[in-house]
């Protein structure tokens, strides 16, 4: 956004300077205010109409321990940082609003004591100079603390501003007028993490050579000629963690339904998953799989029975498919997608079984199924790997899809198994009132963190996929 700032210059008239600032473009309006309801994740927050000038929404019913998360909030880079929050409170118990970076207990950006303001729609703005040396895009948490158990505060918006350093045209010296930052670091901050963890190239080359030197098992039992095997995994648990998007940040995500590895949480690593128990058949699959939790009228609806995780190949010649490395992680879909695809064909739930779909919900978002069918969603991951990175900053760029012939692009030349979840829910004729923890049905997405025992995975890929025949969960024809 553009902010107009009047900068005083000694010996000259006041000159208006345009200084560019930014703060979470998807969450900010043209005044730079980060609207409280534009959270990326929350616990305990509800929205309501704001009853004063400007209208809009505010967030209420906030009590001790509640929090809201805002992603990619730009704290700027030059000058002291001031942080403001607009609040209202009818409770006389009072409390504190804290702003933290990175997690609910991360570096404190600002803290504001809040007492009775005169009512739930009687607003006041609290401002503080932040002691942080953090700059640039950050994840910001608003954390509420109070000695009472009940609700104590409403929040309308928050805002971050920097005192600018500006070159002022027409000043007597042609120089700059600045206000130096307070508490600025005396040394350069550590370099940011690249988000591109790599495999050991020598080990990967050796593993690949050993894999293709492996003699496939002779084909028996006249199997179906489809390159495929599967794992059958039941739901293990739910939590608000995401070890791919928010590693180490407990509670930072929307609620997820996990299947496969029983230990998956924000602190999960390749090593912890590999050592963890699994709900999958086969037991050699310790991988972590997760999706946003599905609710109907606010009640959790888990997948019916086991989720089938298919491993296949879409290559014209599947014999070049090789196992993905231990620790590979990837995401498919986008939690921020809240609209249908332009062709109205993708990103949809559907009905499987006799009778199929008999109609749509009033909002058109979900199918209504016949009594003999059930609500199903299939999610498929990319099947071409760059051969170098276990992950990427957006958890997608190290992966790609093959073209219409199944060939991998030159940028991602390594064909790996095509992973696909088929998720059936125990819903058919009544599919109204459905939401996902990430939003509406178009926001469905999925995460995969590979922790297969290498021998078990290699055997299935070589015997089943590379030879082009269908195997069961045990990896047999």
User: What are φ and ψ of residue 236, in 5° steps?
Assistant: -105, -40
DSSP state of 320: G
Enumerate the H helices of 143-249 as residue ranges: 201-213
Across residues 424-436, what is the average pLDDT? 96
- How many residues would you count in the chain? 477
Enumerate the H helices of 147-264 as residue ranges: 201-213
Chain-centroid distance, C-alpha 215 = 40
Enumerate the H helices of 133-197 as residue ranges: none
Over residues 297-353, the pLDDT tens digits come to: 999 999 999 999 999 998 888 999 999 999 999 999 999 888 887 777 666 899 999
Which token pair is 59?
A: 């967030």
What does DSSP say about strands 288-292 and 256-260: parallel, antiparallel, or unpaired? antiparallel
Which token pair is 433?
A: 């009132």
Chain-centroid distance, C-alpha 97 = 25
Which token pair is 185?
A: 């670091």
Output the DSSP codes for 39-101.
-SEEES-EEEE--STT--EEEEEE-TT-EEEEEEEE--SSS-EEEEEEEEE--SS-EEEEEEE
In terms of Cα–Cα distance, which of 149, 90, 158, 77 is closest to 122?
Answer: 90
In this prediction, residue 124 carries a pLDDT of: 84
In terms of Cα–Cα distance, which of 54, 55, 65, 52 is closest to 120?
Answer: 52
Over residues 361-382, the pLDDT tens digits come to: 998 889 999 999 999 999 999 9
Residue 188 has pLDDT above 80, yes or no: no
325 near 199, Cβ under 8 Å? yes
Report whether the peptide linkage leading into residue 97 is cis, meaning its omega lies within 30 degrees of zero: no
β-partners of residue 88 are 123, 154
From residue 169, how far is each of 5, 7, 20, 172 by CA, in Å?
14, 11, 16, 9
In this prediction, residue 319 carries a pLDDT of: 95
DSSP state of 357: E
Q: How far apart are CA 361 and CA 429, in angstroms?
A: 10
Which token pair is 447?
A: 């995460």
β-partners of residue 190 are none
What's the predicted TM-score (pTM) here?
A: 0.63
Residue 421 has pLDDT above 50, yes or no: yes
Confidence grade of residue 190 (pLDDT, cut at 50, 70, 90): very low
Across residues 79-108, what is the average pLDDT? 86
Over residues 222-276, the pLDDT tens digits come to: 999 999 999 999 999 999 999 999 999 999 999 999 999 999 999 999 999 999 9
In this prediction, residue 346 carries a pLDDT of: 67
């Amino acid at each position: 956004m553009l902010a107009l700032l009047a900068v005083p210059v000694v010996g000259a008239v006041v000159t208006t300077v345009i200084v560019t600032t930014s703060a979470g473009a998807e969450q900010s309006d043209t005044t730079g205010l980060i609207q409280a309801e534009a959270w990326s994740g929350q616990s305990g927050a509800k929205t309501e109409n704001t009853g004063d000038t400007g209208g809009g929404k505010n967030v209420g019913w906030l009590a001790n321990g509640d929090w809201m998360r805002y992603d990619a909030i730009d704290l700027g880079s030059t000058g002291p940082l001031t942080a403001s929050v607009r609040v209202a409170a009818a409770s006389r118990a009072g409390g504190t609003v804290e702003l933290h970076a990175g997690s609910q207990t991360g570096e404190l950006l600002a803290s504001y004591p809040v007492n009775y303001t005169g009512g739930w729609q009687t607003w006041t703005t609290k401002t503080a100079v932040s002691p942080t040396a953090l700059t640039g895009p950050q994840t910001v948490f608003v954390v509420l603390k109070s000695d009472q158990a009940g609700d104590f505060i409403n929040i309308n918006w928050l805002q971050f501003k920097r005192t600018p350093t500006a070159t002022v045209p027409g000043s007597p010296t042609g120089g700059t007028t600045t206000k130096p930052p307070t508490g600025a670091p005396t040394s350069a901050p550590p370099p940011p993490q690249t988000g591109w963890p790599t495999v050991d190239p020598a080990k990967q080359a050796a593993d690949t050579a050993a894999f293709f030197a492996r003699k496939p098992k002779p084909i028996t039992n006249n199997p179906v000629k489809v390159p495929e095997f599967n794992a059958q995994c039941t739901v293990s648990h739910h939590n608000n963690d995401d070890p791919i998007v928010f590693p180490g940040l407990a509670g930072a995500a929307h609620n997820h339904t996990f299947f496969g590895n029983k230990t998956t949480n924000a602190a999960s690593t390749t090593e912890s998953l590999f050592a963890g128990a699994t709900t999958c058949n086969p037991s050699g699959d310790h991988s972590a799989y997760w999706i946003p939790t599905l609710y109907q009228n606010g009640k959790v609806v888990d997948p019916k029975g086991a989720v089938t995780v298919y491993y296949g190949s879409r290559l014209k010649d599947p014999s070049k498919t090789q196992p993905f490395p231990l620790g590979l992680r990837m995401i498919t879909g986008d939690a921020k997608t809240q609209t249908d695809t332009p062709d109205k064909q993708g990103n949809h739930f559907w009905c499987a079984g006799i009778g199929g779909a008999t109609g749509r919900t009033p909002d058109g978002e979900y199918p209504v199924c016949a009594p003999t069918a059930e609500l199903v969603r299939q999610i498929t991951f990319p099947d071409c790997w760059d051969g170098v990175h276990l992950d990427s900053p957006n958890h997608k760029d190290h992966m790609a899809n093959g073209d219409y012939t199944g060939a991998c692009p030159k940028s991602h030349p390594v064909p790996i198994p095509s992973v696909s979840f088929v998720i059936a829910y125990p819903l058919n004729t009544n599919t109204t009132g459905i939401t996902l923890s990430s939003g509406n049905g178009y926001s469905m997405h999925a995460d995969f963190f590979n922790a297969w025992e290498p021998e078990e995975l290699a055997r299935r890929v070589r015997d089943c996929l590379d030879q082009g025949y269908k195997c069961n969960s045990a990896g047999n024809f």
